Amino acid sequence: MDVSSLTVAAVLKPQGIRGEIKVKALTDSADDLKNLKKIFIDGEQYSVLSVRAAGEFAYLTLRGIADRNAAELLRGKEMQALRSDLPQLPDGRYYIADLTGCTVVNERGDRLGEVIYVTPAKTDVYTLLSNGKEINFAAADGVITEVDVAAKKITVNGKRFREVSL
């Protein structure tokens, strides 16, 4: 998929015998998947016929996936959706894809590294690449002071950053 799409779930397994699939939502809530009309798996588009959300999991019925055997072929694959089909995020919330590649600087403007991955958790953990080494830091209160997605720049409080760096 292209930059106008985001990975929103991972297919875990078939659910039942009628082609329904169980997915782990990679969004804040499995409810975010309820309004999707189409999704993409391996670049192939599927119309979404139904979605049931249960905690961090959702159960989807897709057009063209009529039985357990067809659903089994999707096991372990990532599911993408068009960015335009996803809910608008509230202020201060960002899609991981928008944070990846951002330069992280302290309040003086000193470059600390580039975000290569964000591990979603109660307190997200950012992985930076800095001079060939990986640095992890928890996005705890007071660490990130500003996010400018358009400029691909994240500013952190230097003291708090050092306290939470792993």
pLDDT by residue (tens digit) across 105-141?
999 999 999 999 998 888 899 999 999 999 999 999 9
Which pLDDT score, from 0 to 100, does residue 1 have? 43
What CATH topology corresponds to 5-85? Elongation Factor Tu (Ef-tu); domain 3 (2.40.30)
Distance, in Å, from the CA atom of 137 to the CA atom of 146, rounded to the nearest integer, reads 15
Continuous H helices in 12-123: 68-72, 96-99
Domains 5-85 and 96-164 share a fold: no
Least trusted range by pLDDT, from 22-31, 34-43, 103-112, 155-164: 22-31
Which pLDDT score, from 0 to 100, does residue 166 have? 76
How, if at all, do strands 78-82 and 38-41 pair?
A: antiparallel
Alpha carbons within 13 angstroms on the beta-carbon side of residue 111 total 9
Domain 96-164 CATH assignment equals 2.30.30.240: yes
Of the candidates 85, 62, 87, which has an alpha carbon nearest to the alpha carbon of residue 11? Answer: 62
Percent of residues in the chain assigned helix, strand, coil, to nearest 5? 15, 45, 40
The residue-averaged pLDDT of 142-161 equals 95
Say if residues 75 and 19 touch (Cβ distance below 8 Å).
Answer: no
The residue-averaged pLDDT of 16-44 equals 93
Handedness of CA 10, 135, 94, 53 (dihedral sign): positive
Which residues are CB-neighbours of 73 under 8 A, at least 6 positions away? none
Q: How do residues 81-96 score in pLDDT, each as one tens digit? A: 999 888 888 888 888 8
Element (H, E) at 82: strand 78-82
The residue-averaged pLDDT of 33-52 equals 95
- Domain residue ranges in the chain: 5-85, 96-164
Residue 44 banded pLDDT, cuts 50, 70, 90:
very high
Residue 26 banded pLDDT, cuts 50, 70, 90:
confident
Which pLDDT score, from 0 to 100, does residue 20 have? 97
Distance, in Å, from the CA atom of 137 to the CA atom of 121, rounded to the nearest integer, reads 12
Mean pLDDT of the chain: 93
Which pLDDT score, from 0 to 100, does residue 3 have? 58
Say if residues 106 and 156 touch (Cβ distance below 8 Å).
Answer: yes
